[in-house]
Amino acid sequence: MMWSVIILCVLLPLSIGLDNGLARTPPMGWMSWERFRCNTDCKNDPHNCIGANLLMQMADRMAEDGYLEAGYEYLSVDDCWMAKERSQMGTLVTDPERFPNGMKAVIDYVHSRGLKFGIYGSVGNKTCKGYPGNKYHMARDAATYAEWGVDMLKFDCCNPGPNFVTGFEQMGNYLNKTGRPILYNCALAICMGPKVDYNLVKKYCNTWRNYEDVEDNWKYVFNIIEFYGKNDKNFLEIAGPGGWNDADQLIVGDFSLSAAQQQTQIGLWAIMASPLFMSVDLRNIVPTAKQLLLNKEVLAIHQDSLGIAGRRIWNIDDHAVKLESWLRPLSPKGRYAVGIFNKNVGGLLQTVNRTMSQLGLTDENGYTMKEIFTGISYGPYKLSDSLVIRIPPTNLFLAVATPVTEKELIVF
């Protein structure tokens, strides 16, 4: 009997999630890629090139302008930070011109500002932009990252080769072996085939990209929302403390989204419990975008301690009406975030007329609602009462629904 218990324990994985104690709620931070790409031209564009100055200036802004305090704690450099070749010893080398004092000096500075540091690597022998990949060097590179004080690795799936799944597992194991807590961000998007096994991904990764790159354009944001709305293989249900689907960076404050579309992006990312990595120039961000990134009520939904990702609960996609509704359970139990999204890009406002029950709410005492971007309160509503609102194209109505208490019920 005893032996069979022991054998069973060995055969069955004891926990289905990666248990490195990190990402108990979806991580937040800043990432260089979407806004600064692979700009390595420090001669002609010293202000915007990937190098020590850019990262240290961004660390200052995060520490001094309220972002760190709001929860954005990881400062993450993406592709193109390296020299084109490894050292003769085979170690990774930072580009010597753009990082004159090496990466450790930058990381020490970032830590001195109270932030954590994220770095970028790839499972193949080259990154997507042709810099050295980690293939054949994973143990050594994990040790280098730990020595430098890295707190997060975005591990990309560029030039993957047939054994990339093993590569992702191996890198995760090497990171764990360093003994340093390093959040493992598996940027699997380009390798995600139809056969993806999300339970396996969650076993090895703290976060995982599962869809195409976001670009500074509504169409890309919209396509990501659609992908998450479809929720193929129920990947949203697989998310939870320790492991999250990553819908890619926020483009709030960049060039192309309207103010309302920026609200839609961050609001739905919060409901989906996707990591929130800003990718914007924090040195000259417009005040409205800054305010949105720091919106406490949106971030409270995102960081909710129940750790349950929201889901789309209905979707109308016909010629005239393109409308969908999302629901995320919140703590204390019984509260919900409700997101109603007018997907139409045509000029008309869309009327929504839905009972509480149709929005997925079930408490028999009914609900009050507070919309987050306008501050308007709605209700109290019985379950059979309707919320009637009008939403402009591409806008999100984002509210927290709170059950009516027994006391309130007497008055109601």
- Compute φ and ψ for 232, nearest 5 degrees: -55, 135
Among 78, 151, 297, 324, binds ligand GAL (CB under 6 A): 78
Nearer to ligand GAL, 17 or 26 (CB): 26
Q: Which residue has the closest beta carbon to ligand GAL?
A: 128
Stretch that binds ligand GAL, among 15-23, 52-60, 64-72, 122-130 (CB under 6 A): 122-130
Region of 150 (left: φ > 0; alpha: ψ -120 to 50; beta: rest) is: beta
How far are the Cα atoms of 26, 337, 361, 387 from residue 340, in angstroms, in the given order? 22, 10, 14, 11
Amino acid, res. 223: N
Catalytic hit among 60, 65, 213, 363: 213
How many angstroms separate the CA atoms of 73 and 65, rounded? 13
CB of 36 to ligand GAL, least distance (A): 11
Nearer to ligand GAL, 127 or 144 (CB): 127
338 binds ligand GAL (CB under 6 A): no
Strands 350-355 and 386-391: antiparallel
CB of 127 to ligand GAL, least distance (A): 6
- Looking at residues 182 to 241 of the shown chain, list those that interact with ligand GAL (rule: CB under 6 A): 187, 189-190, 213
Known catalytic membership, residue 156: yes
246 binds ligand GAL (CB under 6 A): no
Known catalytic membership, residue 108: no
How many angstroms separate the CA atoms of 118 and 187, rounded? 13
Nearer to ligand GAL, 209 or 302 (CB): 209
Nearer to ligand GAL, 204 or 381 (CB): 204
CB of 120 to ligand GAL, least distance (A): 6
The DSSP secondary structure of 79-94, one letter per residue, reads SS-B-SS--TTS---B
Give the E-state strand segments of 102-146 in sequence order.
116-122
Torsion angle of the four alpha carbons 138, 144, 150, 152, in this order, in degrees rounded to the nearest 10: 0
Nearer to ligand GAL, 132 or 339 (CB): 132
Give the E-state strand segments of 181-332 in sequence order.
183-187, 207-209, 244-246, 276-278, 311-317, 322-330
- Looking at residues 125 to 184 of the shown chain, list those that interact with ligand GAL (rule: CB under 6 A): 127-129, 156, 158
Q: Where are the alpha helices (DSSP H) in 128-197?
A: 138-148, 164-177
* Cα Rg of the chain (Å, integer): 22
How many angstroms separate the CA atoms of 60 and 67, rounded? 10
CB of 356 to ligand GAL, least distance (A): 39
Nearer to ligand GAL, 24 or 126 (CB): 126
79 binds ligand GAL (CB under 6 A): yes
How many angstroms separate the CA atoms of 214 and 226, rounded? 13
Catalytic hit among 79, 141, 151, 156: 156
Omega before 332 within 30 of 0, i.e. cis: yes
Q: Point out which residues bind ligand GAL (CB under 6 A).
A: 33, 78-79, 127-129, 156, 158, 187, 189-190, 213
Which residues are known to be catalytic? 156, 213
